[in-house]
Amino acid sequence: MYIVIIGAGSIGLNLIDLAVDDGNDVVVIERDEDRANDVASKYDCLVLSADATKNGTLRDANIGRADAVITTTNIDAVNIMVMLLAQEHDVPNLVSVVHDTENLPVFEKIGVTLIENPQRLIADYLYHSVRYPGVSDFIELDDTTELVELTVSDDAPMNGQLLETANENGTLPEGCLIVALRRGEEIRAPRGDTTIRAGDQVTVFTDDVSLSAAIAAFTDE
């Protein structure tokens, strides 16, 4: 893919690292010259130290080739302007961080894929890491439901349980659904005749009320 990334702050740097490492053609536009030079010295990609809200800058980035434009700056007005310009160049995938929820309707009207309030996402992740040490990863779906990834421990109530039996006897808490199971290199969709084993990584759909019970069922916490 040909990806144009706007901004090389903390979010942008992580994105650049992922995109370059995955073999994409990456162009970075960063207004701060020192920061742009730092990116250019570390990554095999084109870096432009320029104002991304100028059409000429986007043309220099060969935006007509772009499969995606991703804006990561901490100023919503800049992100909106870049998205509008990218839309004029018929870029098929427009992605942006959004810091102020009041600006969401503007981004949505443009047709942008949104990453809302990344600072809150980081804070949520850090809080979950402290509050629920057994959770290796999570995705908050809305205010009351989330997906959590748990590794089944030796002493967990679910270890050795047939999924169908665990549902019937209440070992699997009500309100929890196992949507995926990783065993070694294999990922499967668990069924009623699946036996949960220690070391399995399970992805569980749960609500906030059942979260603590779900963690207790799969770990020794």
Domains and CATH numbers, the chain: 2-116 (3.40.50.720), 121-218 (3.30.70.1450)
Residues 112, 117, 122, 125, CA torsion sign: negative
Residues 6+ apart with CB under 8 A from 51: 31, 57
Per-residue pLDDT of the chain (221 residues; tens, 9 = 90+): 999 999 999 889 989 999 999 999 999 999 999 999 999 999 999 999 999 999 999 999 999 999 999 999 989 999 999 999 999 999 999 999 888 888 888 988 888 887 666 666 666 665 666 566 677 666 666 667 888 888 999 999 999 999 999 988 989 888 888 989 999 888 888 888 899 999 999 988 888 778 888 888 988 76
Q: What does the alpha-carbon distance between residue 158 and residue 134 come to, in Å, rounded to a whole number?
A: 14
